[in-house]
Structure formats: structure tokens, C-alpha cells
Amino acid sequence: MSGIGYEGPYRVRETLVEAHRIAWRRIAEPGAWLDGARRVAVAAEVRAAEDCALCRERKEALSPFAVKGEHEATDLLSAAEVELVHRLTTDPGRLRRAWTEGILAAGVSEEVYVEIVSIVCVTMVIDTFRRSLDLAPFDLPAPVPGAPSGYRAPGARRHDAWISLVQPEDVVESDGDLYGPTASPVVKALSLVPQAKRDYWDLAEVHYLPGSEMTNFATGVRAIDRMQIELVAGRVSALHQCVY
Amino acid sequence: MLRASTEVSGADFDLNAVTGAATGDGGIEGGTLLHAFAEAITLRDAARTAELRGALVEALGEPAMIDAAATAAAFHGFVRLADATGTPPEGAAGGQVTMEFRDSLGINDFYGARNA
């Protein structure tokens, strides 16, 4: 298919359609640490991971880190970056701190790591939504020329996560709009690279709930109520073996 | 979040349903269908997903089916974001996720909890 739209038998709410248009355009544009071509290459590897024999073997193994083999570098991504994309796409519930440290030791900076995670998550959300409606995935966008901004949040520090993040009290003006009145751990996860954080959350809040509704357990902003939303969320999380 | 929303609504929902250890809709309208829909999407079972799309549209309406699909898709991102960054579960859901609660649901038996 070409273009970003919602053909087919179901009427998709316009806020979702617009969020997908923006997210897909953002993937093609220069980010903070990756240019457009490398960002699109990450999205392409998310899809390639589905047919990766090594990923399949690891996924089926009782001990995924015991399976020998390495992913190969591509023209635009290093072998460690491909490993990050593939394993995060295919087996996220069995990642370990040592694995993340290995990716960083192989030369992937924390900033690049965070930006890649953001792109993987955006791609997974949109591709999964379209698959759930039996729609073909969007064509990958054409990269937009330009240089990355190189922005790292100056207040970012290592706390109790595996990657540096910004606590609300360490936000500075140049970070832009980063947090609302509250910031749960998962909201802070990508804050090292504020644009990567916004790219993911701008999409996720349209899919799930706006930040202002997160603690409103009687919210009526969606066509299903909060219990129904959380039932779906809980089942997906449990099937992924997500401990968060 | 599910526990908090059921407490607010007064529904008598068995939270073990999310890990597959309990069945039934537990007082959540369309709960059995929504549970199965989330599972079919995650397991990439196209035929079952299609079947449940139709059933959900019939039971709850098309906008509800769309929002269920949107939520399921969103959590394909949330879980990866949390797992890739080692986001600590302490503080999740407004700090309601205690070790005892996680243990009661079997979450502490997940690979990530055993190999943290």
C-alpha cells in the first residue's frame, strides 16, 4: 500500500489516523541521534526480525542467551544495533541488564539505544494495530535529509533503570515538554532523549489514554471503559512476560 | 491499573485472568471476548483475531473493537519500552504494585523477574 490512511471495512477514529500520520512522518525525519535513513532502517529491521532464523531459534530456546550466533551489520546499522532491534522486537520479556550493557559496550551510545527503542516501539504499535484489523503494514517512508540534533537531556543520570533518565526535578527548559504533573517510571524511561520520548508517547497516549486520564479510573474518553482497557492491557503484558 | 479500576467500579474481577490462571468475564462487560481478542492479537492468530473482531463489533460495537485493538497495540510498545530500559516495577500503577501482589499473580515467576 502507499500513503497513510485507513481503507477497509472499519471506521478508525480520526485521532488514531492523525497520530499514525505524524508518527510515520517522524520516523523518516532526522532524530536527535540518528538521521532519517538510519531511523527508517530501524523500522525495516523490526519487520525483518519477524523472519529472522536466529531470532526464531532464540525465541524457542529455554535459555535464549545460550543460543550461539550473531546478527550481521547492515549498510546503515551496526551488528549491535541490529541485535538490539531484533531481540527487542521478538523476545522482549527475556532481556537482561547484562545484555543491555553488552550492547552499550559494543559501541552503541545510550542516546542511540534510547532512540532505537523509541522507533521499535512506534513501529510495533502501528504495525500491530494494522495487523489486528487485517490491514497491510504501511510502506516504509522515504528518509528526509538532514542532520540529527545531537540533544541529550543535560539532567539525565543513572538511577535504578538500566539507562540514564531525567527525574522531574532535573528537567531544564531546553528539554521541552517532557512530563505532566506526575511521571511514573515508564514515562521517564526514554527521557534521556526527549524527542524520542515524545515520539513514542504522542502515539501511545492516543492509543491508550491521555496523560491527564492515567489516574482517572472512571475515565470515559474511549469507547471501552477503564476496566475493559486494563483487561486488554494486562493480558497483552502478561503474554509478553512483562514484569513492569 | 486493572485492580484500581475494578475497585473504583465495584466489579468482582479475578485478576488472575490476565495471566491465564482464571477464566470468565468477572463482571467486566465483554470481558471474555476482550481477553481472547488481546490474546489472539499478541499470538498473531489472524483467523482468531478476525473471528473476535466480528464478535466484539456485535457485542460492544465497532468503536469498542477499534479501541480494544488500539490498546492491545499500544501495549506491544509499552512492554518493549519497559523491558529494554530495565524500568523498575516499583512505582508502577501509582505504587500499587507490591511484591506480594506481583507474587499473587505469578509475575515473580516471569523470566525477567527471575533473572533481574
Q: Do A228 and B73 lie within an 8 Å CB cutoff?
A: no
Q: Do A235 and B35 lie within an 8 Å CB cutoff?
A: yes
Q: How confident is the model at residue B116 (pLDDT cuts 50, 70, 90)?
A: low
Domain boundaries, chain A: 14-152+187-207, 217-244
Q: How confident is the model at residue A61 (pLDDT cuts 50, 70, 90)?
A: very high
DSSP assignment letter at A74 = -
Q: Do A244 and B87 lie within an 8 Å CB cutoff?
A: yes
Q: Do A234 and B2 lie within an 8 Å CB cutoff?
A: yes
Q: How confident is the model at residue A215 (pLDDT cuts 50, 70, 90)?
A: confident
Q: CA A88 to CA B79: how far, in whole Å? A: 10
By C-alpha distance, which of A208, A134, A136, A50 is closest to B49? A134
Contact residues on chain A for B70, CB-CB shorter than 8 A: 16, 129, 206-208
- DSSP per residue over A131-164, as a string? HHTT-PPPPPPPPPP--------TT-B--SSSS-
Residue of A134, A207, A223 lying closest to B74 (CB–CB): A207
Q: CA B70 to CA A189: how far, in whole Å? A: 21
DSSP assignment letter at A242 = -
Q: State the nearest Cα–Cα gap between A147 and chain B, in angstroms.
A: 25
Residue of A121, A161, A232 lying closest to B34 (CB–CB): A232
Q: State the nearest Cα–Cα gap between B86 and chain A, in angstroms.
A: 5
ipTM: 0.95
Q: Is the pLDDT of residue B10 over 90?
A: no
pLDDT of A162-171, one tens digit each? 999 999 999 9
In this prediction, what percent of chain A has a pLDDT beyond 90? 85
Q: Do B75 and A114 lie within an 8 Å CB cutoff?
A: no
Q: Can you tell me which residue has the cell 492509543?
A: A207
- Count Cβ neighbours within 10 Å for each residue of B80-90 and write b for 16 or more, e otherwise: bbbbbbbbbbe
Q: Which residue of A has its CA nearest to B47?
A: A134
pLDDT of B50-109, one tens digit each? 999 999 999 999 999 999 999 999 999 999 999 999 998 776 666 665 666 666 666 666
First to last CA, chain A: 36
- DSSP per residue over A159-221, as a string? -SSSS-B--GGG--GGG-S---S---HHHHTTTTSHHHHHHHHHHHHHHS--GGGTT-TT--S
Q: State the nearest Cα–Cα gap between A236 and chain B, in angstroms.
A: 6
Q: State the nearest Cα–Cα gap between A143 and chain B, in angstroms.
A: 22
Q: Can you tell me which residue has the cell 552503541?
A: A108
What is the predicted pLDDT for the residue at A1? Answer: 44
Q: Do B85 and A189 lie within an 8 Å CB cutoff?
A: yes
DSSP assignment letter at B89 = S
DSSP assignment letter at B11 = -
Cβ atoms of B33 and B64 closer than 8 Å: no
pTM of the model: 0.90
Would you call A13 an interface residue with chain B, using a CB distance cutoff of 8 Å? yes
